[in-house]
Structure 1
Amino acid sequence: MAEEKMVSKTRKIQPRTLAVILSIIPGLGQMYNRRFLKGFIFLIISTAFLITTWDYIDIGIWGLFTLGTIPREHHSIQLLIQGLISLIVLAFGIGIYIYNFMDARSDAIAREANRPKPTLLQGVKGFYNNGFPYFMIMPGLIMLLFIVVVPLLFMFALAFTNYNQYNAPPRKLLDWVGFTNFVDLVHIDIWKDTFFSVFSWTIVWTVVATTLQIALGLILALLVNDTRIKFKRAIRTILILPWAVPAFVSILIFSALFNPTFGAINRDILSQFNVMLPWLSDPFWTKVALIMIQTWLGFPFVFALFTGVLQSVPRDMYEAADVDGGTRWQKLRHITLPHILFATAPLLIMQYAGNFNNFNIIYLFNEGNPAVRGQNAGGTDILISWVYKLTFESNNYNMAAAITIIMGLVVSIFAFYQFRKTASFKEEGRY
Structure 2
Amino acid sequence: MATVLSILFAGLGQLYNRRFLKGIVFIVVEAAFLITLANFVVNGVWGAITLGETPREDHSIILLIEGIIAFIVIGFALTAYIFNIIDARRNAKDLQLGKKIPTVRQQVIDAYNSSFPYMLITPGLIMLVFVVVLPLAFMLALAFADYSLYNAPPRKLLNWVGFENFTKLFTEDIWRESFVNVFSWTIIWTFVATTLQIALGLFLAILVNDKRIKFKRTIRTVLILPWAVPAFVTILIFAAMFNDTFGAINNDILSQFGVAIPWLTDATWTRVALILIQTWLGFPFLFALFTGVLQSIPSDMYEAADVDGGSRLQKFRFITFPHIMFATAPLLIMQYAQNFNNFNIIYLFNEGGPAVRGQNAGGSDILISWVYKQTFEYNQYSMAAAITIIMGLIVSIFAFFQFRRTAAYKEEGEM
Equivalent positions of 1:85-234 (< 5 A) are 85-234=69-218
Report the more deviating stretch, 68-77 or 132-141: 132-141
Query: Take 2:413 and 2:37, find their aligned partners in 1: how far apart are those partners?
Result: 43
Q: Which residue of 1 aligns with 2:54?
A: 70
Report the more deviating stretch, 119-128 or 271-280: 119-128
Report the more deviating stretch, 39-48 or 59-68: 39-48
Q: Which residue of 2 aligns with 1:23?
A: 6
2:303 maps to a residue whose letter is: E
**Shift of residue 129, structure 1, vs aligned partner:** 2.5
**Aligned to 1:416, what secondary structure does the other structure show?**
helix
Residue 352, structure 1, aligned to residue 336, structure 2: yes
Q: Which residue of 2 aligns with 1:398?
A: 382
From 377, 392, 399, the equivalent of 1:408 is 392
Q: Which residue of 1 aligns with 2:318?
A: 334
Q: Which residue of 1 aligns with 2:27?
A: 43
**Shift of residue 22, structure 1, vs aligned partner:** 1.3
Taking a change above 3 Å as real, the CA distance of residues 123 and 425 of structure 1, as seen in their structure-2 partners, is same
Equivalent positions of 1:200-349 (< 5 A) are 200-349=184-333
Residue 363, structure 1, aligned to residue 347, structure 2: yes
**Shift of residue 109, structure 1, vs aligned partner:** 1.4
- Unpaired segments ≥5 residues, structure 1: 1-17
Query: Take 2:205 and 2:102, find their aligned partners in 1: how far apart are those partners?
Result: 63
Query: Take 2:93 and 2:296, find their aligned partners in 1: how far apart are those partners?
Result: 55
1:46 maps to a residue whose letter is: E
**Aligned to 2:279, what secondary structure does the other structure show?**
helix
From 55, 61, 65, the equivalent of 1:81 is 65
**Shift of residue 204, structure 1, vs aligned partner:** 0.3
Q: Sequence identity of aligned pairs in percent? A: 70
**Shift of residue 125, structure 1, vs aligned partner:** 2.4
TM-score normalised by L of structure 1: 0.94
**Shift of residue 428, structure 1, vs aligned partner:** 8.4
Q: Deviations over 1:199-239 (max 9, x none)?
A: 00000000000000000000000001111111111111110
Taking a change above 3 Å as real, the CA distance of residues 325 and 428 of structure 1, as seen in their structure-2 partners, is closer
Q: Which residue of 1 aligns with 2:410?
A: 426
**Shift of residue 57, structure 1, vs aligned partner:** 0.3
**Shift of residue 120, structure 1, vs aligned partner:** 2.5
**Aligned to 1:212, what secondary structure does the other structure show?**
helix
2:26 maps to a residue whose letter is: F
Query: Take 1:247 and 1:36, find their aligned partners in 2: how far apart are those partners?
Result: 61
Query: Take 1:375 and 1:208, find their aligned partners in 2: how far apart are those partners?
Result: 24
Query: Take 2:207 and 2:173, find their aligned partners in 1: how far apart are those partners?
Result: 50
Instruction: Determine which structure has more spread, i.e. the larger CA radius of gyration.
Output: 1
**Shift of residue 128, structure 1, vs aligned partner:** 2.8
Taking a change above 3 Å as real, the CA distance of residues 248 and 428 of structure 1, as seen in their structure-2 partners, is farther
Query: Take 2:91 and 2:207, find their aligned partners in 1: how far apart are those partners?
Result: 67
Query: Take 1:161 and 1:232, find their aligned partners in 2: how far apart are those partners?
Result: 59
Residue 33, structure 1, aligned to residue 41, structure 2: no
**Shift of residue 122, structure 1, vs aligned partner:** 2.4
**Aligned to 2:126, what secondary structure does the other structure show?**
helix
1:166 maps to a residue whose letter is: Y
**Shift of residue 98, structure 1, vs aligned partner:** 0.3
Q: Deviations over 1:19-74 (max 9, x none)?
A: 11111221111111111221111111111111110010000000000000000000
**Aligned to 1:64, what secondary structure does the other structure show?**
helix
**Shift of residue 320, structure 1, vs aligned partner:** 1.1
**Shift of residue 426, structure 1, vs aligned partner:** 1.9
Query: Take 1:180 and 1:245, find their aligned partners in 2: how far apart are those partners?
Result: 45
Taking a change above 3 Å as real, the CA distance of residues 155 and 428 of structure 1, as seen in their structure-2 partners, is farther
TM-score normalised by L of structure 2: 0.98
Q: Deviations over 1:362-394 (max 9, x none)?
A: 000000010000000110000000000000001
**Shift of residue 115, structure 1, vs aligned partner:** 1.5
**Shift of residue 429, structure 1, vs aligned partner:** 12
Q: Deviations over 1:307-355 (max 9, x none)?
A: 1111111111111111111111111001111010001000000000000
1:32 maps to a residue whose letter is: Y
From 61, 73, 97, the equivalent of 2:45 is 61
**Shift of residue 127, structure 1, vs aligned partner:** 2.7
2:86 maps to a residue whose letter is: M
**Aligned to 2:98, what secondary structure does the other structure show?**
coil
Query: Take 1:324 and 1:127, find their aligned partners in 2: how far apart are those partners?
Result: 65
1:250 maps to a residue whose letter is: T
Query: Take 2:31 and 2:376, find their aligned partners in 1: how far apart are those partners?
Result: 44
**Shift of residue 116, structure 1, vs aligned partner:** 1.6
2:251 maps to a residue whose letter is: R
Query: Take 1:124 and 1:233, find their aligned partners in 2: how far apart are those partners?
Result: 61
Report the more deviating stretch, 85-94 or 133-142: 133-142
Equivalent positions of 1:3-18 (< 5 A) are 18=1
